Amino acid sequence: MTIAKKYSSLPMVNYKTHYKCHKCGTPSYQRVIERDASGALRPSGAYRCAGCRSIFESLRAWWEPKRNVDFQPSAMHGA
């Protein structure tokens, strides 16, 4: 008799999407959970690919191959 080892006690949940990781093609991800100052576990706002374990700052960054960065560093020089 074998016991399925698919279940773990980790508080993470895999979310299935119709998108796929642009790195490894896995169609599911996890939210990154971090402990905040009060000790509570909260989603950090980042995502971890369930396949290759890479961390992405947004879902879009997960499924969308990196293109030209549209963030303008010049915005940091405003006085």
Residues binding Zn ion (CB under 5 A): 21, 23-24, 26, 49, 51-52
User: The sheet that has 28-35: what strands, in order across it?
Assistant: 14-16, 28-35, 41-49, 55-56
* CB of 8 vs Zn ion, minimal distance in Å: 19
Helix (H) or strand (E) holding 74: none
29 vs 53: CA distance, rounded Å? 9
* CB of 57 vs Zn ion, minimal distance in Å: 14
Nearer to Zn ion, 39 or 55 (CB): 55
Nearer to Zn ion, 41 or 52 (CB): 52
